Structure 1
Amino acid sequence: MGALSNLRVLDLTQVLAGPYCTMLLADMGADVVKIERPGGDFIRPNPPFVDDPDEEAYGGYFQSVNRGKRSIELDLGDDDDREAFLSLVEKADVVIENYRAGTMEKFDLGYETLREHNPQLIYSSIRGFGDPRTGETHRQGQPSYDLIAQALGGVMEITGQEDGPPTKVGPGIGDLFTATLNCIGILAAVNHREQTGEGQYVDTALYDSMVSMTERAIYQQSYTGEPPTRQGNSHPTLFPFDAFEAADGHVVIAGFGTNHWTALCEEIGRPDLAEEYPDRESRLENREYLREEISSWTTERTAETICETLEGRVPVAPVQNTEDIFADSHVHDRDMIVPVEQPGAGREVEIAGNPIKMTETPPRVRGRAPLLGEHQEEILGDETADAETAADD
């Protein structure tokens, strides 16, 4: 049993933010019913594929964030399908959607309507700019994606090389961080309901989440009156805290603490630097010179040699690609790469595991992502049977 095995979640989300949130819930044991529009989540056909896809196949994108869920296909504009959805709502704990604000209201399935059918329901939304119920703004109703959120929220302005353009963070952090915050909000609402019996509306916005994630830049603006900008891999107030070139790649060194700085200088054969620049202020003031001195040592050595020399005394790590990650025993010891069945393929595929670790109810990947409507009869058939039983009684 998972920690959330008592919860049923109706998942109306698609693409990344919503599915990642409900994936976390499914990994922790919730029964997540993915309710897909006719034709299904439009990332189902996104590559990569193991083999040439058949009609029902889905790619790695869909597999990764929809594992462990059940799927049904409903057209909320159809009267019968709308009634089927409402019958599921009556027994659900959570409904989550990531449409534009006002979309569910067009089907007369907004929070207020669903609450009439289930007063204890927790209704959660993930939108680019939030929902009017929690704070109305002029941006609501506009479409938004991760790239938009990273740009508006200040992430791109502080990411990239100092002399380069604003740069998007590689993973879709606008989606992923928002999804994680939404999951936290849902679980907080569940806890509140356990104490009071009250459901509520949970809302997280991509833009809001990116403002929260740029945390350091926000307080810097307030304290200094100057907008922070890009400075590569370095840190505005700490040194060394940067990436350094090795003979065969790059390493990162975070030796800004005096104890780590002293150890770093000893290991590279430059104890004089620790004596001459003993505090944070002197190291920051002379960071360019010190960076050159450290680089003259790292560029003559492989990343492996650098790490072997410094590990245990100075925070250090190689900059890894995914091939390196797959070869790292730590990742496998922590169950962070897990195999799942891939429909239509002659082999399993591997996806990222769950980073939340628990001793009694450990989250885990509970099977592959579903085919479109794979559980239609199983889920809606149960509802029909329950209704017939109630009528007989």
Structure 2
Amino acid sequence: MDEPFGALQGLRVLDLTQALAGPFCTQILADHGAEVIKLEPPESGDMARLSGPFHAADTAHRQSGYFHSINRNKKSIVIDLKQEAGRQIVLDLVPRFEVVVENFRAGVMDKLGLSYERLRERNPRLVYAVIRGFGDRRTGASPYADWPAYDVVAQAMGGMMGVTGADADHPVKVGPGVGDTVPALYLAVGILAAVLRARATGEGQFVDVAMLDAILGVSERIVHQRSFSKVVAEPEGNHHPFIAPFGIFPASDGHVAIACPSDHFFHELCRQLDAADLLDDAGLATLAGRRDNRRRVVEAVGARTARFTKAELTARLGGRVPFGPVYDMDEIGHDPHFAARAMLADIDCPGIPETMQIAGIPIKLTATPGRVVHRGPGQGEHTDTVLRQAGFAASDLAAWRQAGIIK
């Protein structure tokens, strides 16, 4: 049994999620000590188990990097919710948990007889949390409530894609699946807020995050731009719509990010790039001038940065102006920052002879730090342990397994 750790030790979460958004949310809780019990269907389990990538040496276990990256620190049980007996097991388990999390399409849990209202009857303190593409009718009835959604849909309709790309004719999807992970972050905050209230009052509640809402939330600039300046924001390429220089610039062997939101930083940038002549240009010497001449600023600074390698620019600019090279994963793997911050976590996976790496824990707490304790669980790895601890008899488990209700 894992030793308790973290700020959330004692919090018990029943996790009915799969794919990315839901598991990413519950992993945040597990990383900080919550006991997260992942309930999977009996066929192939969470769809992430089938998605890969798979290590070339792993021919037997088929350990999915995707699955381990978003399901570490959890336990797995398998219960068939399509069978009445399986649903009854869940109803009997619910009083043992403070939180239930699911990301099914709207109405699925209701049809199974496991709705928030039904579970609340069993546990009035329950915090029932959901991520859906367009939200749940309990908190606001979207006309698209029944539509399925994935990351790319949320990025498109939530406004992020409409301001990302080279120009208005070429919108671009953000690389990582932020349409899933950003809602997951919001939901984790909502869960903890609701748990605090439930512990104080004895009353749980329904917590709902729509993927679209979350993307609009982090794309906040497009809202106030339209309201305050009557401008509908469009893609700006790799540069800021108000400030210059503030964006991505060429190096001789790649690209770097530079941000100079003040005259002080711009003047230092010019000194370090041997470009003091730019300060003699009245249109570039002041913050207001650079705002009005952003294209000229970008071209002038880019012409200077292109003369140097990323390493040379790092030596000249690092620590002097807001600066960073554009890294790929190999460069991240060799940069001492990520080692010092424990952002590359090692896990051991069955069937793989070498240690694998997944992303570490960004939230750092001094007194109760989170941990990456173990890999993602095998499908049904903890079914017997969890159900026996809940008080079910060994004979019941044997009968259920024989009937295919558990695994």
TM-score, length-scaled by structure 2: 0.92
What is aligned with 1:391? none
Match for residue 323 of structure 1 among 312, 330, 335: 330
Q: Secondary structure at the match of 1:252?
A: strand
What is aligned with 1:38? 42
Contact 1:26 1:366 in 2 (8 A): no
What is aligned with 1:336? 343
- 1:212 deviates by 0.8
- 1:88 deviates by 1.4
How many residues matched? 388
Contact 2:245 2:301 in 1 (8 A): no
- 1:52 deviates by 5.5
Match for residue 119 of structure 2 among 114, 123, 145: 114
Q: Secondary structure at the match of 1:133?
A: coil
Match for residue 288 of structure 1 among 291, 295, 300: 295
CA distance in 2, matches of 1:45, 1:55: 13
Matched, 1:310 2:317: yes
- 1:385 deviates by 4.9
Structure 2 residue ranges without an equivalent (≥5) = 396-407
- 1:187 deviates by 0.4
Q: Which piece of structure 1 moves more, 112-121 or 263-272?
A: 263-272
Matched, 1:26 2:25: no
Contact 2:160 2:219 in 1 (8 A): yes
- 1:135 deviates by 0.6
Match for residue 246 of structure 1 among 248, 251, 263: 251
Contact 2:165 2:172 in 1 (8 A): yes
Contact 2:314 2:324 in 1 (8 A): yes
- 1:296 deviates by 2.1
What is aligned with 2:147? 142
Contact 1:38 1:75 in 2 (8 A): yes
What is aligned with 1:378? 385
Contact 2:13 2:99 in 1 (8 A): yes
Q: Secondary structure at the match of 1:132?
A: coil
- 1:249 deviates by 0.7
Matched, 1:265 2:274: no
What is aligned with 2:400? none
Sequence identity percentage: 44
CA distance in 1, matches of 2:293, 2:188: 44
Counterpart of 1:269, as a letter, is D
Contact 2:388 2:394 in 1 (8 A): no
TM-score, length-scaled by structure 1: 0.95
- Provide, for residues 349-384 of structure 1, a one-character-per-residue CA deviation record: whole Å limited to 9, x for no partner: 000001000001101112010111010111112223
What is aligned with 1:76? 81
Q: Which piece of structure 1 moves more, 275-284 or 113-122?
A: 275-284
What is aligned with 2:18? 14
- Provide, for residues 216-267 of structure 1, a one-character-per-residue CA deviation record: whole Å limited to 9, x for no partner: 1111111232311111110011110011111111111101211101111222
What is aligned with 1:217? 222
CA distance in 1, matches of 2:353, 2:197: 46
CA RMSD of aligned residues (A): 1.6
Matched, 1:180 2:182: no
Contact 2:57 2:352 in 1 (8 A): no
Counterpart of 2:136, as a letter, is D
Counterpart of 1:280, as a letter, is L
Counterpart of 1:363, as a letter, is G
Contact 1:57 1:371 in 2 (8 A): no
Contact 2:20 2:181 in 1 (8 A): yes
- 1:51 deviates by 2.7
Counterpart of 1:314, as a letter, is V
What is aligned with 2:403? none
Match for residue 4 of structure 1 among 8, 12, 34: 8
What is aligned with 1:359? 366
Contact 2:42 2:78 in 1 (8 A): yes
- Provide, for residues 319-358 of structure 1, a one-character-per-residue CA deviation record: whole Å limited to 9, x for no partner: 0000000001110110000100112111220000010000
Q: 1:164 to 1:137 in 2, by over 3 A?
A: closer
Structure 1 residue ranges without an equivalent (≥5) = 389-393
- 1:75 deviates by 1.2
CA distance in 1, matches of 2:308, 2:370: 40
Contact 2:162 2:168 in 1 (8 A): no
Counterpart of 1:128, as a letter, is G
Matched, 1:157 2:157: no
- 1:58 deviates by 2.8
CA distance in 1, matches of 2:57, 2:276: 59
What is aligned with 1:227? 232
CA distance in 2, matches of 1:95, 1:300: 55
